[in-house]
């Protein structure tokens, strides 16, 4: 079962207009920048992006906004922390102008929605957000004397993920905090496209140390490691 694509552009070529795409990365760490750039070259429109933020630590997503490819975003920490930087950001301007629809969830709810989809669950009850604006319009239920909100599963059409090493069958290994959203996003999507720094033959990864089982990954493409200094402000 060889899932390797030779070309990054080929790996994202079939993403249609209107697709929902989970894009991993916690600010700079574990972000599939090469795949995002390929998506910008490919030009699919009316996209729904499911990602931590659009902009801070991940300027490549801004290109999708500037090219008018984004219809909606589902995020947890969408904006720059700096009010000034935010006011100048293409994404924040588009959200303020109503050109991009934005849903924001607490971080644990955001990623649990994807995990639920990956695990075949319709939703889950969480204590997070009770008594805040997050509960607006959601079912509230009491278990053991405590209130919980019903949050529903979120299943993306595609996931773009990043890993340190992968084998030809899609087993992936991440490094340190670059793991972040990658495992659950990879598992949740119908089609997961993994960018990896090194592709090895089956059997070469330590089978006890695989972070993302290959069953969740449909395409693997090798990318060059891009060096940078982590920062958001």
Partner 1 sequence: MVQKSEKLTGLSRELMTLRIANELEDGTYVNLGIGIPTLVSNWIAGRDIVLQSEIGMLNTGPLAGPEDVDQDCINASCQAVTELPGACYFSDCESMAMIRGGYMDVAVMGALQVSEKGDFAGWNNPERGLPERIGNIGGSMDLAVGARKVILAMMHTTPEGALKIVKKCTYPLTAVGVVHLIVTDLAVIEVTPRGLVLKEVAPGITAEDVQSVTEPKLIISPELKEMQL
Which positions touch partner 1 (CB under 8 A)? 26-30, 56-57, 76-79, 81, 83, 86, 92, 95-96, 102, 104-109, 111-112, 114-115, 126-134, 136, 164, 175-184, 211, 227-232
Q: Which is closer to partner 1, CB of 27 or CB of 222?
A: 27
Min dist CB 17 to partner 1, Å, is: 25
Q: Which is closer to partner 1, CB of 191 or CB of 232?
A: 232
Q: How far apart are the first and last CA of the chain?
A: 43
Min dist CB 72 to partner 1, Å, is: 13
> Of 58, 13, 183, 22, nearest to 115 (Cα)?
183
* Cα 213 versus chain centre, distance: 17
Position of tokens 């293409």?
A: 90
CB 34 within 8 A of CB 5: no
d(CA 23, CA 47): 12
Q: Which is closer to partner 1, CB of 12 or CB of 111?
A: 111
Structure tokens at 106: 């607490």
Min dist CB 184 to partner 1, Å, is: 5
Q: Which is closer to partner 1, CB of 5 or CB of 52?
A: 52
Min dist CB 178 to partner 1, Å, is: 4
Q: Which is closer to partner 1, CB of 15 or CB of 53?
A: 53
Min dist CB 10 to partner 1, Å, is: 27
User: Which residues is 102 bridged to in the sheet?
Assistant: 73
> Of 218, 177, 174, nearest to 4 (Cα)?
218
For the chain, count helices (H), then strands (E).
7, 12
């Amino acid at each position: 079962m060889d899932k390797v694509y030779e070309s990054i552009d080929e790996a994202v070529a079939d993403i249609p207009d209107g697709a929902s795409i989970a894009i991993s990365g916690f600010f700079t760490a574990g972000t599939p920048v090469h795949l995002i750039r390929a998506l910008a070259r490919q030009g699919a429109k009316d996209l729904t992006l499911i990602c931590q933020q659009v902009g801070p630590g991940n300027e490549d997503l801004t290109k999708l906004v500037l090219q008018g490819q984004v219809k909606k975003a589902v995020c947890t920490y969408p904006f720059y922390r700096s009010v000034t930087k935010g006011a100048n950001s293409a994404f924040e301007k588009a959200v303020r102008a109503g050109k991009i629809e934005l849903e924001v969830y607490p971080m644990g709810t955001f990623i649990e929605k994807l995990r639920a989809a990956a695990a075949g669950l319709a939703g889950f009850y969480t204590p997070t957000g009770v008594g805040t604006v997050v509960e607006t319009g959601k079912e509230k239920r009491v278990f053991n004397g405590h209130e919980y909100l019903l949050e529903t599963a979120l299943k993306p059409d595609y996931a773009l993920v990043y890993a340190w090493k992968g084998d030809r069958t899609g087993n992936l290994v991440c490094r340190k905090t670059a793991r972040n959203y990658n495992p659950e996003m990879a598992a949740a999507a119908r089609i997961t496209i993994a960018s990896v720094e090194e592709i090895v033959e089956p059997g070469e990864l330590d089978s006890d140390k695989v972070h993302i089982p290959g069953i969740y990954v449909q395409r693997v493409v090798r990318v060059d490691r891009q060096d940078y200094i982590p920062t958001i402000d």
